[in-house]
């Protein structure tokens, strides 16, 4: 196996992703996708698949952190398992199907969609939007439809779904603590279905870099996942001692800058 000096960037990225995921309760996709896109371009990955590779690798890296987050919230009794059971079929269908849409989308279009969605997420954090509870959770078909929508968007931007599922559940009169814990549980089927979809859709694509399996780049996956798993508890431990509200606003600004940088690299 030939060593690539850019592999040294992946543990650093993993440390940052894990720390902020633990500190702010934010999935790592918002950081990973623009950073992986930038690093992959520097490594000479083909432009036509560079965002697809970043999405697939980011989704696969979320699996391990999702398991860790799920276990933590379950221990605190914050997971509404009846909600998880009701929404998971739609989540699986929407996420897996979303990867097929992403696989056939142009790199520039994917990058622009990601940037727009992250701008929405950043705006949520900047103004601290909290939807008012105004209804109860829908029935089977309503939960399924919500799952398809949340999963589909999550596949296109490689996130665990919290940016959509937490506001949805809060709107449906689920306590915020339970909405966050349940969202963490929903993140696992999103990550598994998204990873499977990006593996399948990239399997027969020619010209992908060495050490790739489908649209997943294994060196980045391993190094980011292991380090982020170790640093997430550090961020979580500091969550009650640091000014999280202020840090969220700073983080939102960083997300916007990362997306601008990604778009600049793609268009140039």
**Band of pLDDT at residue 215, cut at 50, 70 and 90:** very high
**pLDDT digit string (tens) for 188-200?**
899 999 999 999 9
CB-based contact 4:39 (threshold 8 Å): no
* Dist. CA 53–CA 94, nearest whole Å: 20
In sequence order, which residues have a C-beta less than 8 Å from that of residue 235 and are 6 or more positions away? Answer: 18, 19, 20, 21, 22, 23, 24
* Dist. CA 111–CA 264, nearest whole Å: 10
Res 28 pLDDT > 80: no
CB-based contact 227:88 (threshold 8 Å): no
Which of helix, strand or coil describes residue 206? coil
Smallest CA-to-CA distance from 138 within 128, 146, 127, 130 is with 146
**pLDDT digit string (tens) for 70-82?**
887 788 788 899 9
Q: What is the pTM of this model?
A: 0.88
């Amino acid at each position: 196996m030939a060593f690539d000096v850019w592999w040294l960037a992946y543990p650093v990225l993993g440390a940052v992703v894990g720390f902020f995921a633990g500190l702010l309760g934010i999935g790592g996709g918002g950081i990973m996708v623009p950073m992986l896109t930038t690093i992959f371009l520097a490594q000479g990955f083909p432009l036509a698949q560079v965002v697809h590779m970043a999405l697939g690798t980011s989704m696969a890296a979320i699996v391990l952190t999702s398991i860790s987050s799920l276990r933590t919230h379950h221990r605190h009794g914050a997971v509404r398992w009846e909600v998880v059971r009701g929404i998971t079929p739609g989540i699986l269908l929407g996420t897996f199907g979303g990867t097929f849409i992403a696989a056939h989308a142009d790199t520039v279009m994917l990058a622009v969609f990601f940037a727009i969605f992250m701008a929405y997420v950043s705006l949520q954090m900047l103004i601290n939007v909290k939807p008012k509870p105004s209804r109860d959770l829908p029935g089977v078909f309503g939960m399924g439809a919500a799952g398809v929508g949340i999963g589909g968007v999550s596949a296109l931007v490689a996130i665990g779904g919290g940016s959509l599922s937490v506001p949805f559940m809060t709107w449906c009169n689920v306590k915020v603590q339970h909405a966050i814990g349940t969202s963490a549980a929903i993140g696992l089927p999103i990550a598994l279905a998204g990873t499977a979809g990006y593996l399948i859709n990239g399997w027969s694509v020619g010209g992908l870099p060495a050490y790739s399996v489908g649209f997943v780049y294994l060196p980045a996956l391993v190094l980011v996942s292991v380090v982020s798993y170790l640093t997430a508890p550090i961020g979580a431990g500091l969550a009650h001692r640091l000014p999280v509200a202020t840090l969220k606003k700073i983080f939102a600004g960083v997300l916007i800058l990362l997306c601008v940088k990604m778009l600049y690299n793609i268009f140039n």
